[in-house]
Amino acid sequence: MDQLLVALDVESGARALQLADQLRGVVGGYKIGKRLFTLEGPPIVRALTERGDRVFLDLKFHDIPNTVAAAIAAAASLGVWMVNVHASGGRRMMEAARDAARESAAREDRPAPLVIGVTVLTSMNAEALAEVGVDRPVAEQVRRLSRLARDAGLDGVVASPQEIGLIREDCGPAFSIVTPGIRGGTAVVSGRDDQERTMSAREAILAGASYIVVGRPIVGAADPRAAAQRISSEC
Q: Are 115 and 155 in contact, with CB atoms under 8 Å apart?
A: yes
Give the nearer residue to ligand C5P in terms of CB position, either 58 or 96.
58
| Residue 139: CA count within 13 A, CB half-sphere | 8
Catalytic site residue from 24, 60, 91, 144:
60
Q: Are 39 and 8 in contact, with CB atoms under 8 Å apart?
A: no
Site membership for ligand C5P, residue 210 (CB under 6 A): no
Spatial distance between the Cα atoms of 216 and 154, rounded to a whole number of angstroms: 28
Give the residue ranges of DSSP H helices in 3-90. Answer: 13-23, 34-40, 42-50, 65-77
Site membership for ligand C5P, residue 181 (CB under 6 A): yes
Residue nearest to ligand C5P (CB): 215
Site membership for ligand C5P, residue 213 (CB under 6 A): yes
Least Å distance between CB 2 and ligand C5P? 18
Q: Are 105 and 83 in contact, with CB atoms under 8 Å apart?
A: no
Residues 78-97 that bind ligand C5P (CB under 6 A): none
Phi, psi (degrees; rounded to nearest 5) at 84: -135, 160
Among positions 98, 150, 202, 216, the unique one binding ligand C5P when judged by CB under 6 A:
216
- Respond yes or no: is residue 60 known to be catalytic: yes
Site membership for ligand C5P, residue 117 (CB under 6 A): no
Binding segment for ligand C5P among 47-55, 68-76, 99-107, 211-219 (CB under 6 A)?
211-219
Give the nearer residue to ligand C5P in terms of CB position, either 134 or 189.
189
Give the nearer residue to ligand C5P in terms of CB position, either 72 or 178.
178
Give the nearer residue to ligand C5P in terms of CB position, either 29 or 215.
215
Spatial distance between the Cα atoms of 106 and 90, rounded to a whole number of angstroms: 25
CB proximity list for 189: less than 8 A, separation 6 or greater:
183, 216, 217, 220
Q: Which residues bind ligand C5P (CB under 6 A)?
A: 7, 9, 33, 122, 158, 160, 180-182, 195, 213-217
Catalytic residue IDs: 60
